[in-house]
Structure 1
Amino acid sequence: MAVTTDIVATYRGPGAVMRHLLAMGRREDRALAMAMGACALTFLSSWPRLAREAHLQELPLDAQLGGALMAWIFIAPLGLYAVAALSHLVAKVLGGKGDWYGARLALFWSFLASTPLILLNGLVAGLIGPGPALSLVGLVWCAVFAWFWLRSLMVAEEGA
């Protein structure tokens, strides 16, 4: 299936999509592409907010974009690997039977699948600014991401 089709299917049932992704075989390049794609889309989603802040606070937009680029494209993927490793260790303590790859795939896929809400959050932050709408969209994203990640991690730790 195409990535976009899998993303839509994840909103209906994250466990089934995770099983499908695991059945495709162990491909570290695919997992890394998911992480980098999610980070790139998150960087893209920050542009409206950064443009708003640059305009309102008379800050240089290029410096803010450069900082966000460094954070999301170079540093965040490393952090994702660390969080995935920690989640696998916690799952092992709780009786998980999966492997490190499954934990990485669960986190990276959940992050990528939730990027439509991250993009919406970026638009709200840039066009409306801080307020209840931004808080609501952020809360919805957090809940959806947590649901995707926990369900995907449960499937990955079943230990096929």
Structure 2
Amino acid sequence: MAVSSDILRSFRAPRAVVRGLLGDRREARILVYLMAACALIFVAQWPRLAREAHLSDAVPLDALMSGALFAWLFVAPLAFYGLGGLLTLVLRIARSGVEGFAVRLALFWALLVASIPALLYGLVLGFIGPGIEATLTGALVVATFSVLLVAGLRVALEAPVADA
């Protein structure tokens, strides 16, 4: 099934989607999910960065954009792989038999799906600015990520460990 269809289905049945994604165990595929999520979140930063550059002449827009590009496309993937390893370690301490691939898939998929409301959050910050609207939209992004991560981790705890 197409990734866009799976993203939409994740809002209705996140555990079923993650369970289906576990059928194809390729690390390259979940790396693409992570990089796509980071790229979408980078794009979501553009309106906010343009607003900041317009309101203040302290830092030009190209400097703000290059900093965000470096942060989201080079540093964030490494940080999320580290977070995936830490989550795997914690879950293995709590319950043996947890596979690292399933935990990373749950984390990266939750980030990819949460990047969709993150695009809205970026627009709100860019056009309206800080305020209650931005706070509520940011809470929506965090809630989406949290719910999908918990659902994915529950599937990871249920999944049998694949033979290496």
Q: Match for residue 22 of structure 2?
A: 22
Q: Match for residue 122 of structure 2?
A: 122
Residues 34 and 112 in structure 1, CA contact (< 8 A), matched pair in contact too: yes
Structure 2 counterpart SS, 1:106: helix
Question: Any idea what the Cα deviations from partners look like across 1:66-111, whole Å, max 9, x if unmatched?
Answer: 0000000000000000011111111112215321111111100010
Distance 1:5-1:96 versus aligned 2 partners, 3 A rule? farther
Q: Match for residue 45 of structure 2?
A: 46
Structure 2 matches for 1:1-150, cutoff 5 A?
1-23=1-23, 25-58=24-57, 59-95=59-95, 97-150=97-150
- The one-letter code of the counterpart of 1:57 is S
Unaligned runs of 5+ in 2: none
Q: TM-score, normalised to structure 2's length?
A: 0.94
TM superposition outliers: structure 1 runs of 4+ over 2 Å: none
Aligned length: 159
Question: Any idea what the Cα deviations from partners look like across 1:10-30, whole Å, max 9, x if unmatched?
Answer: 00011000000001x210110
Q: TM-score, normalised to structure 1's length?
A: 0.96
Distance 2:46 2:103 in 1: 30
- The one-letter code of the counterpart of 1:159 is A
Deviation at 1:140, TM superposition (A): 1.1
RMSD across aligned positions (CA): 0.9
Structure 2 counterpart SS, 1:130: coil
Residues 125 and 134 in structure 1, CA contact (< 8 A), matched pair in contact too: yes
Q: Which range moves more in the overlay, 96-105 or 135-144?
A: 96-105
Residues 34 and 109 in structure 1, CA contact (< 8 A), matched pair in contact too: yes
- The one-letter code of the counterpart of 2:63 is A
Deviation at 1:159, TM superposition (A): 3.0
Unaligned runs of 5+ in 1: none
- Identical amino acids, percent of aligned pairs: 47
Question: Any idea what the Cα deviations from partners look like across 1:118-141, whole Å, max 9, x if unmatched?
Answer: 000000010000000000000111
Distance 2:116 2:81 in 1: 22
Deviation at 1:115, TM superposition (A): 1.2
Distance 2:124 2:116 in 1: 12
Distance 2:96 2:8 in 1: 27
